Structure 1
Amino acid sequence: MDVSRSLNWSARGGYAARGVVYLVVGTMAVLAAIGSGAAEDTQGALREILNQPLGGVLLGIVALGLVFFAIWRLIQAFGDPDGLGTGGKGLVIRAGMLGSAIIHLALAVFAASLIFSVSIGGGSGGGGGDPTAGWLSWLFGRDWGRWVALGIALVPVGIGIAHIVKGWKASYERYMMADAETLRRIRPVCAFGLIARGVTFIVIGILAFYGGGIYDANDAPGLDEALQWIQDLPFGWLLLLMVALGLIAFAAYAFVEAWYRRIGVERAGV
């Protein structure tokens, strides 16, 4: 069995799974913008998948894809197949990939908990809450916890800015195995998607920073709160619609990565 080839295809499946999740998030945000539903975060998107016909099977496939994506992020973080190096910028990007691995693995675990809950007759509405809430409550309950919360709030702002720059400069193209004409055709969608996701990260950071002094680990701001905040602005429905379409474009970007991205697990130093 060719392990490198299997990991390459697994990574592509992971990108596709991420695309499915954001396609659902974006679609639900569109419905919220036109007054036909409520915006949801990625966990809400997984619940929505479960509620569809054959939802358990579909969610199981997505969960497996999220595990594959988390593994690929770990390979990127520790093996550096993209050649980012050990300079300051490279280490920051690789640390971000490690964080992405943890987040997507947590999403996969959440999806599995939903499937298990349904299989034993518990319904599809529960998720058991955030498994990190306990230690976060302890952390932010310390006298110095407020300053930690304020510092952590800057992380999604930095991620958001990085997404916007990546979309604007199309720096992702260096990792794509596509000809110039294909890159020219997909560039507007990819840029729109990355910038829209960057905006939501910045809003999350602003909300977290604003509430840093009264942080509640059981009610930390997330994607759904960011979308709701955008919706509450003047002409918020229109702004939310634009961001929602951008998140759908980000899903398209994930599908593009699933098809065209240079994976190269064999170059990883692991």
Structure 2
Amino acid sequence: MSDQSSTADEAVAGAVDDIVERHPWLEQVFQLGWVAKALVYGLMGFTAIQIARQTAASDEASPEGSVAVVAEASFGRPLLGVLTVGLLLYFVWRLVSVAVIRGNGLDEWAHRVGYAFSGIFYLLLAYTAGKAAFTGVDPEESNTVESLSKSVMEVTAGRTMVGLAGLVTIGVGGFFVVHKGLQRSFTDDLISVRSEPSHNEPKRAALVVAGVVGWIGRGVVTALVGFFVVRAAVRFDPNEARGFDQSLRQAAESGLGTALVVVCAVGLIAYGVFCLVSHRFRTLEE
């Protein structure tokens, strides 16, 4: 069985190598998706800083809010067109990631599911950006999490389903903080980058630090969303559910919460920087 698995792995690796060798431009095209992702999270972080300072009246600290910020800028629609292409390429990247995973263990299936959901999320975001770019219609500012929670709560066992979804979201946030951030597992996907910053040259060491801070910040924000979803289920009130933006605004209403939002903002900006810099250390072979 192991010999068959090894043969399959070699076949997949050989197929990917052959594609890259025949179409070397594909690598640069796929990497553009990480640049687009960097822009989205960077804008989310800057908006979160405004929320912490209580100065954000309209911008959303969410992926959709980032699209809205780009749409309002000079040359916003052409930039949204580029962003759409980048996000679509990132979606394709995730599909490829799912396709090349071998094995049927828990870890392999967890990565398949994670990559699939990630791909779907960025595909929807690409649709939002593309619609704004080609029609001029600004992204709708709606609490998708709240709307979805309300719909689910209306069905039988919906309250339980919402509660479980919130717990899973908290778990994903914890996974980001511990496995991706503190344990620095993200370095496994980067070429010639070691998990210990001191074992790298300055440029790669800075990349590792940005990755740690970024993944921790992203994890805290994700867990915060999960907390409000669970609270909505406990109180049986879908209005208590919060997305990225509303979770940060709710937390910023207290002094301690403001500090938490600042931490999240710094983490989101760091994650954006990590995505921007790390695209040079990613290859289709890896």
TM-score if structure 2 supplies the norm length?
Answer: 0.80
Range that drifts further, 63-72 or 37-46:
37-46
Q: Which has the larger radius of gyration?
A: 2
1:159 aligns with 2:178: no
2:131: which partner in 1?
Answer: 113
1:61: which partner in 2?
Answer: 82
**Partner secondary structure for residue 177 of structure 1:** coil
- Between the aligned partners of 1:205 and 1:17, the Cα distance in structure 2 is 25
Range that drifts further, 242-251 or 182-191:
182-191
**Larger RCO: 1 or 2 (CA < 8 Å, sep 6+):** 1
2:9: which partner in 1?
Answer: none
- Between the aligned partners of 1:259 and 1:111, the Cα distance in structure 2 is 24
**1:125 Cα deviation (Å)?**
5.7
Kindly, what percent of the aligned residue pairs are identical?
24
Q: Is the 8 A contact 1:146 1:215 kept in 2?
A: no
2:107: which partner in 1?
Answer: 89
Q: Structure 1 residues 236 and 145 mapped into 2: Cα distance closer, same or farther (>3 Å)?
A: closer
1:183: which partner in 2?
Answer: 204
2:121: which partner in 1?
Answer: 103
- Between the aligned partners of 1:219 and 1:69, the Cα distance in structure 2 is 32
**1:222 Cα deviation (Å)?**
1.1
- Listed one character per residue, the Cα deviations across residues 66-92 of structure 1 (whole Å, up to 9, x for unaligned) are 111111111112222xx6x32102211
Q: Which runs of 5+ in 2 are unaligned?
A: 1-18, 194-199
TM-score if structure 1 supplies the norm length?
Answer: 0.84
1:204: which partner in 2?
Answer: 225
- Between the aligned partners of 2:74 and 2:225, the Cα distance in structure 1 is 32
**1:257 Cα deviation (Å)?**
2.5
1:192: which partner in 2?
Answer: 213
For the aligned residue pairs, the C-alpha RMSD in angstroms reads 2.7
- Between the aligned partners of 2:89 and 2:241, the Cα distance in structure 1 is 27
1:51 aligns with 2:72: yes
**1:261 Cα deviation (Å)?**
2.0
**1:225 Cα deviation (Å)?**
1.8
- Listed one character per residue, the Cα deviations across residues 202-255 of structure 1 (whole Å, up to 9, x for unaligned) are 111111111125364x99521102211331233333332222111100101111
1:5: which partner in 2?
Answer: 24
Q: Is the 8 A contact 1:113 1:127 kept in 2?
A: no
2:184: which partner in 1?
Answer: 170
1:144 aligns with 2:165: no
Q: Is the 8 A contact 1:33 1:241 kept in 2?
A: yes
Range that drifts further, 16-25 or 176-185:
176-185
Q: Is the 8 A contact 2:143 2:243 kept in 1?
A: no
**1:173 Cα deviation (Å)?**
1.3
Q: Is the 8 A contact 1:197 1:250 kept in 2?
A: yes
1:237 aligns with 2:251: no
Q: Which runs of 5+ in 1 are unaligned?
A: 266-270
Letter in 2 for 1:88: L
**Partner secondary structure for residue 14 of structure 1:** helix
Q: Structure 1 residues 110 and 127 mapped into 2: Cα distance closer, same or farther (>3 Å)?
A: farther
1:257 aligns with 2:278: yes
Of residues 96, 114, 118 in structure 2, which corresponds to 1:75? 96
